[in-house]
Amino acid sequence: MEAVVLEEKFSLIHEHWSPHIVGSLNGQHVKLAKLKGEFVWHHHAEEDELFLVIKGDLRIEFRDRVVHLSPGSFCIVPRGVEHKPVADEEVEVLLFEPAGTLNTGNVRNELTRSELDAI
């Protein structure tokens, strides 16, 4: 058991849209990622996904609405709901989701990360 210092962990991430595992509990992963630009429309058939913004402002676009997140706010995207994260400027986020959740969900493309580094 040790403290995880988010600022130190984020300093180790140099690529956008590439989550890194910083912890595991009860079959869930705690991940950190830096985001910038538009992601891909996708959904997760079996997994809910939590986005907690640490730094910056994030939009999560849904087909029928947009959720705006600022530092200290989070949104839970229920399984099966199509969404697209968008970061006009660099954003630092903490993600909480079941282990094995693929970052691009039902989509496979150049942003897909099937193997995640632990930091």
Confirm whether 112 is domain-assigned.
no
Please tell me the distance from the alpha carbon of residue 116 to that of residue 119, in angstroms, as a whole number. Answer: 10
Please tell me the distance from the alpha carbon of residue 1 to that of residue 85, in angstroms, as a whole number. Answer: 32
Range of the domain at 52: 6-98
pTM of the model: 0.91
Confirm whether 108 is domain-assigned.
no
Question: CATH code at 27?
Answer: 2.60.120.10
Q: What is the DSSP string of 83-104?
A: EEEEEEEEEEEEEEEETT--TT
Identify the residue whose tokens are 């200290």.
72
Q: Give the pLDDT of residue 6.
A: 97
Show pLDDT as tens, one digit a residue, over the chain (119 residues). 789 999 999 999 999 999 999 999 999 999 999 999 999 999 999 999 999 999 999 999 999 999 999 999 999 999 999 999 999 999 999 999 988 887 766 767 766 676 778 89
Confirm whether 93 is domain-assigned.
yes
Confirm whether 18 is domain-assigned.
yes
Total structural domains in the chain? Answer: 1
Which SS3 state, helix, strand or coil, does residue 10 take? Answer: helix
Confirm whether 103 is domain-assigned.
no
Q: Give the pLDDT of residue 112.
A: 65
Confirm whether 41 is domain-assigned.
yes
| Sequence-distant (≥ 6) Cβ neighbours of residue 46 within 8 angstroms | 79, 98
